[in-house]
Structure 1
Amino acid sequence: MQIIHALSEVSARYDALFVDLWGCVHDGVRVYPGANEALAAYRATGGKVIFVTNSPRPRAGVAVQLEQFGVAKDAYDDIATSGDSARVAMYRGAVGTKIWHLGPDQDAGFFEPPAVLDDPLPIQRVPLDQAEGIVCTGPLDPLADPAVMRPEFLAAKTRGLKLLCANPDIVVDRGGVREWCAGALAGLYADMGGESLYFGKPHPPIYDLARRRLAKLADVSDSAILAIGDGPVTDAAGAMGEDLDLLFISGGLGAEETATPPLGNPDPAKLQAYLAETGVVPTYTIGSLR
């Protein structure tokens, strides 16, 4: 594993990047310094950039959000979202047609039928006691312990309802404040004996979607794709499972454990300890995307 100081040190070896967003390109509030410039410079050499995100939102909604955060349009070519992968599965009937939605109102776009399906099933949002399945896009209160959902989950598990998780992330740091994500709720439901279905990182459906997005731009083999991410159980596990080279961002979720300062690189000894603890085996590591 090599610690690098800039993406440009290794980017010429790859024809495309699969780049995580939260913790790598932005912090949930604003773009990180250097990220726009590094990605735009890579694209200027002919490289393709696909943002691969566990956001439950459709691609168009993420694009609007990125503009609000200050992510430049010339920093990427396309977006693959967990939400898009999960929406297709939902409209094909993965958890039934009568759905209890667990998530904030801002995720309502998830229920727009995907254009890629010619015959989407008629999905209805209903109360839990009428539901055939659950769609979880995130907690109603991202700061509350996921355990607050135990009563509802017990009732759902007893009825054998499946839970479709639109965002497998466990936690994210929004401007320095750690928040729970849908993955934490899906994990709790599974721990309680329920069945949770996943479509984002580290699971194959979102990588299949990312490859389809990339194939519309260029013919790129897996050996010429570099995955970039900061989440050990999502980005890193996904890249390793897909046999993609990985540039690990130590200044994201693992910033404290790896002693990575803003715009700096990790302490080598603490980085090695963190990688050993989490099971992450990166090709390269950098403190932040720059």
Structure 2
Amino acid sequence: MTLDVDAVKAFVAVAELRSFTRAAEALGSTQGAISVKLKRLEDRVGQKLIERTPRLVRLSARGAVFLEPARELLAAHDRAVASLAAVRRHFRLGIATHVGGAEVPTLLARLNAHDPALTIEVRLDDTRELIAAFDRGELDAAIVRREDDRRDGEVLAPEHFGWYATPDFVYRAGEPLRLAASAPSCSIRDVITGTLDAVGIPWTQVFLGCGSFAVAEAVSAGLAAGAFSSRLVPPGTIEVSRKFGLPPLPASEIMLLSTLSDAQSRDALRTLAMAFREHRPSAAANGARPRFRSSQMVDNPV
């Protein structure tokens, strides 16, 4: 049996993005074309792979079994095509330290599998530093938190924040809040301290970390409270906004900036965006702790 690579790619995109709409956008196609390719694949294998209703998209039992082999088939195909390239290409990618979580290794592995001839140079830094580097032409792409009203990037996901501390952390109203935060140059720190200042809550920074991981370790140790994305909650901590009467933190967005225009690089960017969205739990959008995604997937209304 011979399978159509484009049809398999359409199936994997629908399965990973939970939506015919987003799959079409990721592949630079239309919903109609995606549906035709999926139907052609299902006719070829003689199995129903995706179950779809007006409000729901999910893998069938056979589709769930086929998904990983389908990914392996696409990776092998991409490696075969890439092996014909005579020149290795370079991809300079910046990822903000407060954005990248457990999905970062997956993002890089997916990019490498998609295009083995691509040399990936990764820079981890604060959003402000990465945006400045991007604007200077030092980066080809960057995954960062939206700063100000910048609109030249592709929105990858919303980002919600909350206040976290260990269950035994003590804070009394009127006293300075013992705060763990990143260096003064970090944009997240400005949001945190500015929010406290706006409502008249005094604070003292008892831990100055270099990056979000160091700050998370300090909060997990009970040294201070801190503000974190709902995706990156430090282990052993709880949300304490209501408990301590702390003000809500403004939501933001994670966006992808890029100057790449050639078809091969744009295809790599689509792979990057797809992998990032796939590994962002939907619970994070509601301010909840991350949970594993089930096989049931909700489609975007058309």
TM-based fold match above 0.5: no
Computing the radius of gyration from Cα coordinates, the structure with the larger value is 2
TM-score, normalised relative to structure 1: 0.32
**TM-score (norm. length: structure 2):** 0.31
